[in-house]
Amino acid sequence: MAAISEVAVEANFEDLSDKKPLGRVVLQLMRRKPLGTAGAMIVIIMILMAIFANFLTPYDPVANSFAAMTVAPGWEHWLGTDQFGRDLLARIIYGARTALFVGFTSSIIGATTGLVLGVGSAYFGGRIDLIFQRVMDIFMAFPLIIMALAVVSIFGTGAQNVIIAITIPFIPRCARVVRSSALAIREVPYIDAARANGFSHARIILRHMVPNVMAPYLIMITSFVGQAILLEASLSYLGLGVQEPTPAWGLMLQGGAEEYALSAPWMAIFPGVAISLAVFGFNLFGDAVRDVLDPRLRSR
């Protein structure tokens, strides 16, 4: 009995999904969302930069070269070098790896944890929901920098701990949004039907509720990536994030950018441009994703 109803539901979904070729859908979207397309381009370029970093630059981003310290931008070094003679372009290209790694991991882990917690809280309701909401309030109110400082003091610095520090504040934000969508879904008859069929809580949550809150979940992920890159840069700039000599954009701004303000201003300018462009790209892309997935906001 249970098996038959499951199959029927899936068959219905098959019929509903449109069968247009993927290429045409993408082209249509590109025409309708020029800004989102520009954002996607930046994101794709950044991903390519991170993957092919070894082939894009002849310079080592880590090795010092005392013969070429604070060289101005030119033919030899397109964006100049820093106080240790490291090529800035090479460090920016390799820095894309750090930024993307931290950005994607922390937003996916944060949003997914938030998804499960938010749907679970909405599904069980009552006292569990109330307690859960208060706990989320605490984490929302808790200053991020203190969380990061504490995480770094407990576990030490490094990329993994930056990810922990950034993930924690993402969880309650995603959980909240997902929970409010899930509350509406809980009242829908097919959840009652699933319950009447005697399905387990885990099965109802994961197979019947989670797929229906995918839209807010994906919106949250895309909006988190840009924020995560920004947070990673801030933490690294404060000396709480990724450590030297790893190439990371925030770290490049920390390393004496202000001391060399008058003699080598390029050191402080280009990494900032990289951060801004990356966040800009992800934000534009995220806005477009939100417009497409959330029909209520489509016209804005």
**Amino acid identity, residue 298?**
R
**Amino acid identity, residue 198?**
G
Query: Which of residues 85 and 272 has its CB atom nearest to other proteins in the complex?
Result: 272
Token pair in block for residue 153: 């003091």
Query: Which of residues 74 and 143 has its CB atom nearest to other proteins in the complex?
Result: 143
Longest dimension (CA), the chain: 77
Task: Supply the minimum distance, in Å, between the C-beta of residue 5 and other proteins.
Answer: 36
Task: Supply the minimum distance, in Å, between the C-beta of residue 280 and other proteins.
Answer: 4
Query: Which of residues 112 and 234 has its CB atom nearest to other proteins in the complex?
Result: 234
- What is the chain's length? 300
Q: Is 70 left (phi over 0), alpha (psi -120 to 50) or beta?
A: left
Query: Which of residues 1 and 138 has its CB atom nearest to other proteins in the complex?
Result: 138
* Selection from 202, 153, 147 nearest residue 170 by Cα: 147
Task: Supply the minimum distance, in Å, between the C-beta of residue 98 and other proteins.
Answer: 15
Chain centroid to Cα 299, Å, comes to: 25
Task: Supply the minimum distance, in Å, between the C-beta of residue 145 and other proteins.
Answer: 5
Task: Supply the minimum distance, in Å, between the C-beta of residue 4 and other proteins.
Answer: 42
**Amino acid identity, residue 9?**
V
Task: Supply the minimum distance, in Å, between the C-beta of residue 137 and other proteins.
Answer: 5
| Secondary structure of residue 297 in the 3-state scheme | helix
Chain centroid to Cα 169, Å, comes to: 13
**Amino acid identity, residue 226?**
G
Task: Supply the minimum distance, in Å, between the C-beta of residue 89 and other proteins.
Answer: 18
Query: Which of residues 25 and 273 has its CB atom nearest to other proteins in the complex?
Result: 273
Query: Which of residues 178 and 230 has its CB atom nearest to other proteins in the complex?
Result: 230
CA distance 53 to 57: 7
CA distance 202 to 208: 10
Token pair in block for residue 85: 């003679």
What count of Cα atoms within 13 Å lies in the side-chain half-sphere of residue 227?
A: 19
Where does this chain bind other proteins (CB under 8 A)? 134-135, 137-138, 140-147, 149-150, 153-154, 226, 230, 233-234, 237-238, 250, 253, 257-258, 261-262, 265, 268-269, 271-272, 275-277, 279-280, 283-284, 300
Query: Which of residues 56 and 269 has its CB atom nearest to other proteins in the complex?
Result: 269
Token pair in block for residue 114: 């938030």
